[in-house]
Amino acid sequence: RYLGVETLRYTDIVPKDKTLAEIDYEKALFYAAEDADITLRLWQRFEELLKEADLLDLLFTLELPILRIIAHMELEGIFLDEGVIDPLEEEFAGRIDQIKAQIFELAGKEFNLNSPKQLQEILFVEQGIPTGAKTRTGYSTASDVLEPLSGQYPLVALVLEYRELNKLASTYVEALPKQINRRTGRIHPTFQQTGTETGRLSCRDPNLQNIPVRTEEGRRIRSAFVPRTGCVFLSADYSQIELVVLAHMADDPGLKEAFLGGMDVHRFTASLIFDTPMPEVTSEMRAIAKTINFGVMYGMGTHALAQDLKITHQEAKRFIEQYFERYPAVRDFVEETKTRARKEEVVHTLSGRRRPVGEINSRNAVERARAERIAVNTIIQGSAADIMKQAMIRVDRMMRERRLLSALILQIHDELVFEVPLDEVEEMKALVKEAMEGAVTLSIPLNVSISVGSNWGEL
């Protein structure tokens, strides 16, 4: 593709019943030499492309240094206490059976819950639940369609509860013990540097970034992960880093005031939107403000906000208008980002990472809207991801300089998890906080919260 060369394949020179060691020496030599030659030529070509795109600095200062840290993190792995996880399998199975029984009772008959065709027939035909989400194959039963209906229809709420519990049971409770490396006694997930378009790390085999932290079931699964004897887990979490990046890049005085004053940014936003003193802001008001704060970064429109908050389109429209009235520089930043993206068809993070957004000039309105959301979100989420990588490099360097035995074992987007010997806990608390908060200099200070626990669920 890049060199216009078709290389030899292993099967071209090695018959099925033989190994590389058994074939003619000259053939094996050429095959091996070609691998080295092509690798060098590809690097030379990629170096040119990276230089043209002004990405060499990002490669050498961020992505290559982080590679070694990720490798060490994967080698370290994390210990799973089978004595904690195993009983959950029977418990979750029992609860799933109970939920299924409730669903069948409400539906008036048994059916295959995992069949979208049967589920749509039960919900939208037999039960008459209203939905406008109809596809070529019938009514959609996707979670984003069912969520807005769950508050009004107990059957829908139970279906969503079944799905969540069933997913946790199959993906984690049943699968995790099988993923223990029997030589190390630990689970070694894979962290992918190029697994996302924004520069965030992704995780697989197993995906430990995806275990819910806000549900009781998720916390119980996390509690099965424990440190070595004589160690504890230490978690370091950036506080609202994406909102901090938004406030910095938009340079919005109101949003920056909330962070610089050490306030609860969602409560502060709610007080502005609802024109209510902060002490009088209710939890419901704060929840609405939180949804809007994060929704702005993901290009959430009136329809999506109305669905998410289960309110009318008119109310959602009013909330968004009030938000931008209070934070006008955020609105300007969003619009300027879209305008620049239409002109350049590419967006850049704070560290210079680039993402093409050619679809922003598409004739298709849906594609255009999606590209606009991607443009804004990439700058914010991608910049936050770059900051986290800078922090990981800084933490790693400081730990090596002090010859500490502590080890980074997980990266969960805005959070780092370390396995720390008891006699290093206080030193690591100070070191990690200093390293992460000093990773970059923004117009708003970064804030890191530290917690320590005897299992992952306690953090």
For residue 287, give the CATH number of its domain. 1.10.150.20
Q: Is residue 291 part of a domain?
A: yes
What pLDDT is recorded for position 327?
A: 94
Residue 168 near residue 221 (C-beta atoms within 8 A)? yes
User: Smallest Cα–Cα separation from 392: which of 173, 146, 48, 72?
Assistant: 72
Integer Cα distance of 99 and 77 in angstroms: 35
Residue 211 near residue 85 (C-beta atoms within 8 A)? no
**Average pLDDT value for residue range 103-113:** 96
What pLDDT is recorded for position 133?
A: 67
What pLDDT is recorded for position 344?
A: 97
State which amino acid sits at residue 124: F
Among the residue ranges 1-10, 42-51, 106-115, 248-257, the one predicted with the least confidence is 1-10
Query: Is pLDDT above 90 for 439?
Result: yes
What pLDDT is recorded for position 382?
A: 97
Q: Are residues 370 and 262 in the same domain?
A: yes
Integer Cα distance of 398 and 431 in angstroms: 7
Q: Are residues 175 and 252 in the same domain?
A: no
Q: Are residues 282 and 370 in the same domain?
A: yes
How many helices (H) and strands (E) the chain has is answered by 18, 14
Q: What are phi and psi of 377, to 5 degrees?
A: -65, -40
User: 374, 408, 427: which is the final residue of a domain?
Assistant: 374
Other beta carbons within 10 Å of 393: 18
Residue 262 near residue 312 (C-beta atoms within 8 A)? no
Q: Is residue 320 part of a domain?
A: yes
Q: Is residue 117 part of a domain?
A: yes
What pLDDT is recorded for position 132?
A: 65
Q: Are residues 264 and 178 in the same domain?
A: no
Q: Are residues 182 and 247 in the same domain?
A: no
Q: Which residues contact 326 (CB under 8 A, 6 or more apart)?
A: 254, 269, 272, 273
CA angle 423/186/68 to nearest 5° reads 75
Q: Is residue 166 part of a domain?
A: yes
Q: Are residues 260 and 370 in the same domain?
A: yes
Query: Is pLDDT above 90 for 138?
Result: no
Percent of the chain with pLDDT over 70: 100
The residues pairing with 134 across neighbouring beta strands, listed in sequence order, are: 139
Q: Report CA torsion sign: 212, 217, 221, 223.
A: positive
CA angle 294/300/306 to nearest 5° reads 105
What pLDDT is recorded for position 253?
A: 95
Query: Is pLDDT above 70 for 414?
Result: yes
Q: Is residue 330 part of a domain?
A: yes
What are the structure tokens assigned to 65, written together? 């240094």
Q: Is residue 34 part of a domain?
A: no
Q: What is the pLDDT of residues 148-169, one digit of tens each?
A: 889 899 999 999 999 999 999 9
Preceding peptide of 206 cis, ω within 30°: yes
Q: How far is CA 100 from CA 95, 109, 150, 341, in A?
A: 9, 11, 16, 48
State which amino acid sits at residue 278: M
User: 187, 212, 227: which is the final residue of a domain?
Assistant: 187
User: 309, 341, 374: which is the final residue of a domain?
Assistant: 374
Q: How far is CA 395 from CA 159, 234, 330, in A?
A: 44, 13, 32
Three-state SS sequence of 315-365: HHHHHHHHHHHHCHHHHHHHHHHHHHHHHHCEEECCCCCEEECHHHHCCCH
Integer Cα distance of 77 and 409 in angstroms: 6
Q: How much helix, strand and coil, in percent to the nearest 5, is found in the chain?
A: 60, 10, 30
Q: Are residues 298 and 175 in the same domain?
A: no
319: domain range?
243-374
Other beta carbons within 10 Å of 130: 8
Query: Is pLDDT above 80 for 73?
Result: yes
92: left (phi over 0), alpha (psi -120 to 50) or beta: alpha
Q: Are residues 129 and 250 in the same domain?
A: no
Task: Tally the domains of the chain.
Answer: 2
Q: Is residue 107 part of a domain?
A: yes
Query: Which DSSP symbol is given to 9?
Result: P
Residue 103 near residue 162 (C-beta atoms within 8 A)? yes
Question: Could you tell me the CATH number of the domain that includes residue 110?
Answer: 1.20.1060.10
Question: What's the chain's average pLDDT?
Answer: 94
Q: Is residue 386 part of a domain?
A: no
Integer Cα distance of 297 and 372 in angstroms: 11
